[in-house]
Structure 1
Amino acid sequence: MRRRTLQTLVAGAAVWGASGCGFALRKAPTFAFQTVRIAGSENTPVARELRTALITNGLTVITSATPASTPAQVVLTVTTDQRERIAVGQTAAGQVRELQLRTRFTFRLRAANEKELIEDTELLLERDMSFSETAVLSKAAEEELLYRDMASDAVQQVVRRMAAVKSL
């Protein structure tokens, strides 16, 4: 009985301590705008995933396929979305043993009145992976998985930065 009471007290103290320090789970982002026009390189992997994430978060996304007469409160311009693959390790025979994969995503956010809300921002994400010529197909699948993971990370960062804009 005494042991159970002690366990209950310790668990209660842990919950009380965690709530007292300001810890809270991340909530869905809230935006100061309702409509976004995506301009620039809108058909790249990160831009496509970003469009999906913005729609999921309740925003109306306007693309080049939408009639130009449709107004948007902000314009998200994607200036760069590129993938890089760099050999960082080699064997004595000159065969590649390790690769570094990079995703470079540059964007800016402007209000409809041309006010700069987020100036040109570059996100650079890197992942390392080993490479073996005997397992080329599995390494190609791993590479694509890592690129998708980096795209997802970039999208989350962009959405958080857009949610941080409090006024137009």
Structure 2
Amino acid sequence: MAAAVLKSPARRAALRGAAMAGLTLGLTGCGFALRQAPKFAFESVQVTGQENTSMSRALQQALVASGIQVANSSAGTAVAPQVVLTVLVDQHERVVSGQNESGEVRELTLRARFRFRLSTPTGKYLLEETELLLERDISFSETAALAKAAEETMMFRDMDGDIVQQVLRRLAAVKSL
């Protein structure tokens, strides 16, 4: 008889609803919250250094999407920047990490490296030099070289997006100028 009661669809739906309510209350009580859009202590930034690389452009687009006015040497604006973001290193690396017995490449390591610092226009450092490095391993096959090249491009684009999000979080951690 008890097994028949648990098998009713209404009973299962009620138990599922109670479990979800308990989970929601438990997560709310522990301080869990979905990630919000970052809030910055500044309204305008000047990007200097390696500002015309793919990762730097993606970062500038993300800042603009967050409501920050971005100035760089290629797109001069009349706004005086509150902070200066200096891009020191922005590079992609492709390293052979595995070979078969005949010396053919079988595995590659892809690296995206981004080093930057944030300062005021007067030279006060808000964020010291910071380096972000992401690595991904990818298999390789000569017979599928074109497909692997496309996969490599996609992985670099994905790593660029991850680094941009990490930089935005670090910039949002600056609370005062």
What residue is the counterpart of 1:89 in the other structure?
Answer: 98
Give the superposition deviation at 1:5: 4.3
Give the superposition deviation at 1:69: 6.1
Give the superposition deviation at 1:11: 2.4
What residue is the counterpart of 2:169 in the other structure?
Answer: 160
What residue is the counterpart of 2:5 in the other structure?
Answer: none
TM-score normalised by length of structure 2: 0.90
What residue is the counterpart of 1:71 in the other structure?
Answer: 80
Judged with a 3 Å threshold, the aligned counterparts in structure 2 of structure 1 residues 163 and 93 are, in CA distance, closer, same or farther, namely same
Instruction: Report the Cα distance in structure 1 between the residues aligned to 2:16 and 2:149, rounded to whole angstroms.
Output: 50
Q: Percent of aligned pairs with the same residue?
A: 54
Letter in 1 for 2:144: A
What residue is the counterpart of 2:122 in the other structure?
Answer: 113
Structure 2 gaps, min length 5: 1-9
What residue is the counterpart of 1:18 in the other structure?
Answer: 27
For these two proteins, the number of residue pairs brought into alignment is 168
Give the superposition deviation at 1:7: 3.7
Q: CA RMSD in A?
A: 1.5
What residue is the counterpart of 2:37 in the other structure?
Answer: 28
Instruction: Report the Cα distance in structure 2 between the residues aligned to 1:85 and 1:12, rounded to whole angstroms.
Output: 48
Give the superposition deviation at 1:65: 2.5
Give the superposition deviation at 1:2: 5.6
Judged with a 3 Å threshold, the aligned counterparts in structure 2 of structure 1 residues 81 and 10 are, in CA distance, closer, same or farther, namely same
Q: Deviations over 1:4-36 (max 9, x none)?
A: 544433222111111111110001111000000
- After TM superposition, the runs of 4+ consecutive aligned structure 1 residues lying more than 6 A away are none
Instruction: Report the Cα distance in structure 1 between the residues aligned to 2:97 and 2:120, rounded to whole angstroms.
Output: 41
Judged with a 3 Å threshold, the aligned counterparts in structure 2 of structure 1 residues 7 and 110 are, in CA distance, closer, same or farther, namely same
Q: 1:41 aligns with which of 50, 56, 63?
A: 50
Q: Deviations over 1:36-72 (max 9, x none)?
A: 0000000111101001000000000001034486410
Deviates more, 1:2-11 or 1:103-112: 2-11
Structure 1 gaps, min length 5: none
SS of the residue corresponding to residue 129 of structure 2 reads strand
Answer with 1 or 2: which has the greater Rg.
2
Instruction: Report the Cα distance in structure 2 between the residues aligned to 1:117 and 1:94, rounded to whole angstroms.
Output: 48
Give the superposition deviation at 1:98: 0.2
